[in-house]
Structure 1
């Protein structure tokens, strides 16, 4: 019996089978594509949210750095002055003491002004502030400090690591996406205060070779003044050139001046009181100065003074002359003051007592007229001293120390028991200059830097 071989309709079955297979494959690929797209979208949102949180942290770090920079620069003169005062009072503390004071001041300022500056949260709150990245889709970051009393702290850097203080702040930045997704970054910011350079003691004895340029802290006046005249209208000024004092019978009171150049005084100055005047050039005094009281004068080259006619003419003041100094007219008394001369000095006479004062002369000293050195005062002369056969009166609590030769005394050397020279038995102990501050001023005195290299991110 023949088999029936009817293949009609087989092609249709094959076609349907192929269509079915491709349909299943197509649906599978479509589903896979949809899932991949959704996954990519979720991943992109995650990345965007993390980026937003990091953006918040960067924004905060920049604000913090600006704030601390202003605070450290504002506080620097205060800590410098404190150190100099402690030195003069023989109460100078350790470097670490002053470094901790700076760190404590910055922490106190963060607590006091940080809320207004949006650097710490208000009391009873943990959110410092929030900021929209894009208000249209509600993407934003918010900065959080869980507890400002414990999240702001200081550490002492070991001397082996350079010393100083490290201020640390722990902050969390939360990035929030429009669909409610939240990602956070936690980090600790480090703010380093480098080791402070302390004032140092130097002794005189046979040299007195300390740096006169660093005895006084240069003033930093707020105003920049033009012109070449110092008048009643130029107050608390920086001058970039030499100037002339023109205001007749001027009273210079409570001023700070920094002059890059020479100062020439062509008129009578009634008084200089509670003033700091720092000049890089010479000082030429052509008329009378009534008195200098509670003031500091730094003269970067030579100085030619005239008459000081009040009594005392110089009180509670410091005068530093880097070059030679000439006093061709009388100094009518000096009390509780110091004069430092880096070169040679010539004096006419002091016709009233010098009391509780110190005069240091690095070069030679010439005295043209009588000199009266009163109680608790000292002259330290590193070079030679010539007294021009004039009267020399030295109080029993005063002293004159001459490291070079003494000449032209009015009387025999033995008549002056308070005049000491290297051949005096106790010269090395009696003729030691008291601790003279030599403060390192400038950027090396008090440095800081904002350290972004030690920020460890923790992502959540």
Structure 2
């Protein structure tokens, strides 16, 4: 009993020791947990900071790509003008000259960038907040002193030239240590010599009256010049003569194998139901009147018609074939539902304005053309056909409608819109620090 009494209090000691051990372990676990939370939070902050720096790289590169893309489109016209001026001054278009143009382009692009807000003379290129509560933002700093074009000064024939420079993007989050990424921006461009070509041009001559000279050695027409056809209709068949008064042909039937001069104008009141064939009509209109080919003209074939003054062709049912028409004034083709239909192996020249509202363009052949020195009224789609207007596109008009003969030296340079290429997708080279 005495031995047992000596062991009193041992249970309390054991309980106290157990409590102490668990307390120590609990504190250790709590400490480890707190430390882990801090480490996780620090890792998350580091990731957010790096993400902020990466966002800076992506954002800045988008701005750079847009800037250089816009600038090269602007400088394109300047280089094009430079090439054209050199051609006029008889500067040969050699490979070395292409390299020189590319170098000049590189200099212009670098100069434009150096004076832009994207490349400040001092300090930060740009800074942008990402998340205000966590104070997350990025800054672009420490750009290269100036972009370089390392290939522009080489004598080797490069496939492409390139402009390059480096910069740094700093990410910030919750006043933690910043993270820095270094980016390298590369922009490539080139001039394609094969898209710059020399071509012949005709000497400029738009005196279309020379196409149909006034007939000579024709006798005055008598009233008997009107032959009687079927049903009392008027027929010009193998008639060569000249009228000196305004003529109204009341019931025209046909004009065949004839040379007719109308010095005071003519109007065909009703339809020429057999058309005009193998004939020449030289018409000098009276001021204030219009030479009128009324209603249906059933075809104009192998003929020449010159009208000095205004003219209207209301309807040509069977079309115009192998013929030339010159109007030294304004012209109207068609009248409402009546249309000029079919034009092939023929040319129409109008020195004034032309109303083409009522033309059936679907039947126009590529062997035909209409040249108008003035303006054209009609659907905008008419320029999809062989129709040329000096007021719409003078270069095309001169090319297609000049009567001049090409001489030695009548050349120009043709620079297509595809003569310059550049990289539109730019992938930065990024290194993490």
Contact 1:99 1:195 in 2 (8 A): yes
Residue 138 in structure 1 maps to residue 135 in structure 2: yes
Aligned to 1:418: none
Q: Give the ranges of 4+ consecutive aligned residues of structure 1 lying more than 4 Å apart after TM superposition.
A: 157-162, 198-202, 263-267, 280-283, 286-289, 299-305, 315-318, 433-436
Residue 319 in structure 1 maps to residue 398 in structure 2: yes
Aligned to 2:12: 12
2:398 counterpart SS class: strand
Distance in 1 of aligned mates of 2:388 and 2:27: 102
Q: TM-score, normalised by structure 2?
A: 0.51
Contact 1:151 1:170 in 2 (8 A): no
Aligned to 1:448: 422
Please, which of 162, 165, 168 is the counterpart of residue 164 of structure 2?
168
Query: What does 1:183-262 align with in structure 2 at a 5 Å threshold?
Result: 183-198=179-194
1:86 counterpart SS class: helix
Distance in 2 of aligned mates of 1:196 and 1:185: 36
Deviation by residue 1:411-459 (Cα, 9 ceiling, x = unmatched): xxxxxxxxxxxxxxxxxxxxxx8876454x233x211114533x22232
The alignment's C-alpha RMSD in Å is 4.4
Contact 2:168 2:182 in 1 (8 A): yes
1:153 counterpart SS class: coil
Query: What does 1:289-368 align with in structure 2 at a 5 Å threshold?
Result: 319-321=398-400, 359=406
Residue 181 in structure 1 maps to residue 177 in structure 2: yes
Distance in 2 of aligned mates of 1:109 and 1:48: 35
Q: CA deviation at 1:181?
A: 2.7
2:78 counterpart SS class: helix
Q: CA deviation at 1:89?
A: 3.2
Contact 1:83 1:199 in 2 (8 A): no
Contact 1:99 1:196 in 2 (8 A): no
Q: Compared with structure 1, are the counterparts of its residues 14 and 301 closer, same or farther at alpha carbon in structure 2 (3 Å cutoff)?
A: same
Aligned to 2:68: 68
Q: CA deviation at 1:78?
A: 2.4
Distance in 2 of aligned mates of 1:110 and 1:12: 83
Q: Compared with structure 1, are the counterparts of its residues 442 and 159 closer, same or farther at alpha carbon in structure 2 (3 Å cutoff)?
A: farther
Q: Compared with structure 1, are the counterparts of its residues 318 and 104 closer, same or farther at alpha carbon in structure 2 (3 Å cutoff)?
A: farther
Q: Compared with structure 1, are the counterparts of its residues 56 and 287 closer, same or farther at alpha carbon in structure 2 (3 Å cutoff)?
A: closer
Distance in 2 of aligned mates of 1:264 and 1:137: 76
Deviation by residue 1:192-213 (Cα, 9 ceiling, x = unmatched): 11343355667xxxxxxx799x
Larger radius of gyration: 2
2:429 counterpart SS class: coil
Q: CA deviation at 1:69?
A: 1.2
Contact 2:114 2:146 in 1 (8 A): no
Q: CA deviation at 1:77?
A: 2.4
Q: CA deviation at 1:97?
A: 1.3
Q: Compared with structure 1, are the counterparts of its residues 189 and 201 closer, same or farther at alpha carbon in structure 2 (3 Å cutoff)?
A: closer
Q: CA deviation at 1:161?
A: 9.8
Q: Compared with structure 1, are the counterparts of its residues 156 and 211 closer, same or farther at alpha carbon in structure 2 (3 Å cutoff)?
A: farther
Deviation by residue 1:346-394 (Cα, 9 ceiling, x = unmatched): xxxxxxxxxxxx61xxxxxxxxxxxxxxxxx44xxxxxxxxxxxxxxxx
Distance in 1 of aligned mates of 2:372 and 2:410: 33
Contact 1:56 1:173 in 2 (8 A): yes
* Unaligned ranges ≥5, structure 2: 202-328, 331-346, 354-364, 376-382
Aligned to 1:310: none
Residue 285 in structure 1 maps to residue 258 in structure 2: no
Deviation by residue 1:59-111 (Cα, 9 ceiling, x = unmatched): 11111111111111122222223223323433135221111121111111112
Distance in 1 of aligned mates of 2:197 and 2:175: 67
Please state which structure has a larger fraction of its residues in helix: 2
Q: CA deviation at 1:265?
A: 6.9
Q: TM-score, normalised by structure 1?
A: 0.48
Aligned to 1:99: 102
Aligned to 2:336: none
Q: CA deviation at 1:31?
A: 0.5
Distance in 2 of aligned mates of 1:64 and 1:162: 23
2:3 counterpart SS class: coil
Residue 154 in structure 1 maps to residue 238 in structure 2: no
1:194 counterpart SS class: strand
Distance in 2 of aligned mates of 1:99 and 1:143: 29
Q: Compared with structure 1, are the counterparts of its residues 303 and 84 closer, same or farther at alpha carbon in structure 2 (3 Å cutoff)?
A: same
Distance in 2 of aligned mates of 1:317 and 1:70: 29
